Each structure stands twice: as C-alpha cells, then as structure tokens.
Chain A
Amino acid sequence: MKKILKYSFIFIWSTFVLVPLSWALVTSFKPPAAVNNGATFIPWLQFQPTLDGWKDITGISGYANLFPPLINSATVTFFSTLISLTFGCMAAYGLSRFSYGWKNYKNPDIIFFFISQRIMPPAVLAVPFFILLKTLHLLDTKLGLVLVLTSGLMPIVVWLLVDFFNQLPKEIDEMAMLEGCNPFEAFVRTILPLARPGLTVAGMFAIIFGWNDLFFALVLTFTNVQTLPVAVVALNGTVTPFWTLSASAIFSILPLVGLAFVVERFLSKGGFAGAVR
C-alpha cells in the first residue's frame, strides 16, 4: 500500500514536471499543420517531424541566430561564476575559521547579511544598478553584467560553502600550519582539495542562476550583449511560430542539461564519500 502511494506520487509529480518539457521538445520538430491539430506527442506516427523550427533559430533560415547570445551567456556566466567562486570560497573559509565582528554583530550575522541580499527582489535594485552602470559607462557591456550577476551569485556561494567548510575538521588546517604552511597555503593545499564537492555544488548553483538570469540582462544590456534568455524572450512576439519558440526554449537549456550530466557523474564518482570522516 505504502509502495503504491509512493510510486503514484512520484508518477504524478514527474508527469507534472516532464510533460511540458517533452511537449516543448516534440513541438520544436512539428510542421505548422501538426501544431494546429491539437495535442500530439508521437513523431512519425502522429506527424512528420521537420527541422524548420531549429533552422529558424540557428541562422540557417535567416530568421534568427541564437549562437551569438549563447556565446554572450556563456561568457557572462563563466566569469561571474569564476569570480564568485574565487572570492566566495575565501570569504566562506574566513567566516568558517576566524571570528570577525563589531560589537554584538558576529560571524552568523555577517553570513545572514550575505544571504539577505537574496531576500530582496531584484527589481528593487534595477534602478540603482542602471544608474551605477551608466555612470561607470558599463551599460550594455559584458563586464557590467558580470559585476551585477556576481553580486547576486556571491551570497549563494558563500552561504553554501560556509556550511561545507564547517564540516571539515579545523584540526586539518592546524596540522597543515604546524607542518609549515602559512594560513593561505593551508587553505589552498589542504582545504580546497577537500572542498571540491562543495565547490562543485556551489559552482553549479552559480552557473544555473547566472545562466537563467533574465531580469538584469534585460534591464542592463540592449543590443551589444544580448544573453540567451533575453534573445528567447525577444522572439516571443506574435510573429514567431510555436515550433520556433519551442526550439529556442530547448536550445537555451541544452547546455545546462549537458553540464548537469557531467557534474552528476563527477559527484557520484566519489566527491562526497570519504571526504569528511
């Protein structure tokens, strides 16, 4: 009985999650007639698949080309993730090992301050960021977007990693120092290698958040640095047919899906197991 309940719950939930996605995938290969004929799911049986939608978004048909936005997205996500991981892991290590503070405000308050930046809706920051970037002449530049994204990704990275570093015994850093490492060397040579699974998870989060950011990209960039989410939304007029839209949606999540497979393999290969005793 318990089993039936469990599996039916799993079935219902996965249907809920997977059907829209698979529908979009199927639709991206449909010819116009098939789209207007109600809900059909099985290619070749119910309709003859075509690549028209995919040709529309890859520049082959001359309708739109999502490759430049893909490269923009990749560049911006890569650098903002890199910066937030580099400085985030140092901040997190510091917060995990040393105590800072002023009067009654100690480490937990600092950590809360970091994460509190995510509590605020991004819309609140739109105007200030716009004016800031305008003043710095960084509007519609990759650097500007990277800096703004980093300010949003860093809190997540710090928050995740503080917890991870807290689980690593402090004695390991002490040991490294007793054996001739200064605190920075102890961090780089012994703690970072041990923190690889934590860094992977934090990095993955940063990449997902960075890649899917629509709001800041929409507000702070125009034509030069169009990112993928912005480009996909821009297609979403009345003129773009459904199959092309579906293809663009699938196109924009493909890199993340591929990355997820790679990372999943890396994590299960022994990341967490045995790192912390």
Chain B
Amino acid sequence: MKGSTVNLDLRSVSVDTETEVILKDISFKFEPGKIYVLIGRTTSGKTSLMRTIAGLIEPTDGEIHLGEERLDEVPIWDRGIAMVYQQFINYPHRTVLNNVEFPLLRAGVSKADAKAQALAMLEKVGLSEFKDRKPSQLSGGQQQRVAIARALVRNTRVILLDEPLMNLDYKLREQLREEFRTLFKGTADSVTIYATTEPSEALFLGDELLVMHEGRVIQHGKPDFVFENPSSIDVAQIVNDPPMTILDAEIKDGKVNIGNLITFPTPAHLKSEKDGKYKIGTRASEVILGGSESNSEEGTVSLSEVSGSETLLYVKLNVGEVVLQLEGIHDYQIGQAVTISLAPNRIFLFNMDGTLCAAPGN
C-alpha cells in the first residue's frame, strides 16, 4: 500500500433525523499526507461528519469511499479508523502502556511487537515514565496524549481528531498544538482530519481548511486564502476570533458611508464596486482606537475583557456594535466614551445577501 494514494472520498453524504438535518450533501476528496481542518461553530456538524466517517453514525444518503473500498458498508470495527475525542477517552482499567498496546493487539500484531511499538509511541508523546500508571493518575494533558498515542500507534489510513485541545487550559493547548505539527508530519499515508472552533489552530495546523456551517461545507481552501477571502459573512465570522464586525454601509458618489457619521472616500480595492447598499466587515485587530477624521465615531464601551495578552473592547455605535482587539492589557469602564475609526483599506465588502463582494487582500 505504501506510496499509493488512498483517498478518502465523500460523495453527497447526508445525515438527517426525523426532525433535523445534521449533514447536508457533503462531497469532498481527502488526500493522505495532509492535515484537513474542519472549522465551524459548536453545532455546525463537525463532530457528526467525523462520526459518520468513523461509522458511529450511518449516513442517510451518499457514499464514502476509501481507495477502492466502499467504507460506509464496512462495520466500525473493520474500518481501521482512529479517533481522538474532545473528552479524554482511555480505558480506565488498563495501564497507559496497555492502553496503547490494545489497538495493536486487536489488529493482530504480536505481543512483543505491540509492546515495542507502544513504547516507541509513548516515547514520542513524552509519556515513557508514566507507562505503568492508570489514566486516572495522569493530568488532563497527559491523558489526551495517551489518547493521541493510541490513535497514532496503529498507523491507520484515517485519523480523526475531534477538538482534542478543547478541554485543556490555554498554555497546554499551545504546547500540544506545537507538538501536533511534528507528530502528524510522520503520517504521510494517513488522511488526518482535525476539527476545531479556533481559527488560530486552523491557521497553524491546517494544510486545507473546510468551513462548516449548519451541516454543510460552505468554503474550503488553503487556510490563509480562506482567511483573506471569506466567501460569505458566515465564513468571515467563523474564521475570525473574535468574530468579524459586520455593519450596514452604502457606497455613493465615490464615498463609503457607514451610518451617518463614518464616511470616507472609497478605498482602492472597492473602486470598481457599483453604488448601492452593502454590508462591510472589519476584523477586530484592524479597528483603530482614536482618530478625529471623518471616518471616526464616538461610542460607549459595552464590555471589556482581557484574553491572554490582549484586551477585547466592545463599543456601541449608532450603526451597531464594533469589536476591537488591543495589544496589551488595558482598563476600560463600561459606559466610557471612546472614539474609534475604521481602516478603509482593510474593509471587507459583502453583498446584502452575505456573499463576498471584495476583500482587501494582503
């Protein structure tokens, strides 16, 4: 099998229950050796898509192919797919070493080989010294490493990671994310699919990004391309954290008017757009605090929160609420008056139906 490409091919896969649509007509070809990141909000269908590939959910429609094989007709236990859950799932009654050996032994590897491979994998994830402990005697991060070791040790054709860093604290998350890149580099024969709600993880890990919304893949492509060219307001909101601010605007006589107060000459990248009503989007990190020109407006702080080494400021304007991301930690009172202005050359322009009209580019 080595060297040959075994694609994971979804053909119009749909899942629905009596009352709701969970996955809607998803077609996509995953290639081995790449990390595919599924990004979407909590109920967008990321987990359902993974569970469908794994066989834990039966598709109501469509086909799943893995190479020559019709995967959706193979029972779960014969699919040879590894999965890491958001919760740290290990076998509580087995030691760390036995946990990692288990999938190998089930796959028919001899006892001695299984032990050697499991030990090597534990070495890789940095858990060698804990091999004789029970999972419950480890910290959350270590437990998740055991789960990852179990998933990787078998060298399966498909590896699914369902928000594996979600339940960890911030610092561990960054550390493990770093390790993931090296860990998954060695899996050139596997299709790796990684689900997350965090744009930063997607940009850091992904070779290819699939944006999911309400059970559909609404955009896919290279992560930085999607980030710079979101095809719709939904995508823009999902791939930006904090979400992109969206305001009503109008282009008229060579000027962009946002509400009654903010107005500026149409920037170069929007010059070719016709006059009319639009929605504009601006990233929190690109909103400017202060400014006294015509493109500024005074508003009041409705919420201020510190996230890591940044301060998020929610400012209420006449046209709506704008989210502002400031470097460093700042102290703002709710109700405090602040002036903000927009960066005209960083504006995303969307049609009224939400589709992208123009992006500022890089």
Contact = CB atoms under 8 A, between A and B. Distances in A.
A274 interface: yes
B39 to A, nearest CB: 22
A181 B106 contact: yes
B85 A180 contact: no
A171 B89 contact: yes
B56 A179 contact: no
A46 B209 CA distance: 89
Contact of A275 (B77, B92, B103): B92
Q: SS class of chain A's interface: helix, strand, loop or mixed? A: helix
B30 interface: no
Interface string B62-76: 000000000000011
A171 B103 contact: no
B91 interface: yes
A178 B92 contact: no
A181 B93 CA distance: 17
B150 interface: yes
Assign chain B's interface to a size class: 20 to 34
A194 interface: yes
Given A171-B85, A171-B87, A179 B150 contact: yes
B106 A277 contact: no
Contacts of B54: 174, 178
Interface string B161-181: 000000000000000000000
Nearest to A183: B77
A277 B136 contact: yes
Q: Most chain-B CB neighbours within 10 Å: which of A169, A175, A176, A193?
A: A175
Contact of A177 (B76, B82, B87, B91): B76
B343 to A, nearest CB: 46
Nearest to B54: A178
B106 A169 contact: no
Interface in A162-196: 169, 171-172, 174-182, 185, 190, 193-194
A180 B103 contact: yes
A274 B89 contact: no
A274 B138 CA distance: 12
Contacts of B82: 178-179
Interface in A30-54: none
B103 A274 contact: no
Contacts of B56: 174, 177-178
Interface of A: 169, 171-172, 174-182, 185, 190, 193-194, 274-277
Interface of B: 54-56, 75-79, 81-83, 85, 87, 89-93, 102-103, 106-107, 134, 136, 150, 154
Closest 8 CB pairs of A and B: A180-B106, A179-B103, A171-B89, A177-B76, A274-B136, A193-B93, A177-B77, A182-B77
Given A172-B91, A178-B76, A179-B150, 7 more contacts: A171-B85, A174-B54, A175-B91, A178-B55, A179-B102, A274-B92, A277-B92
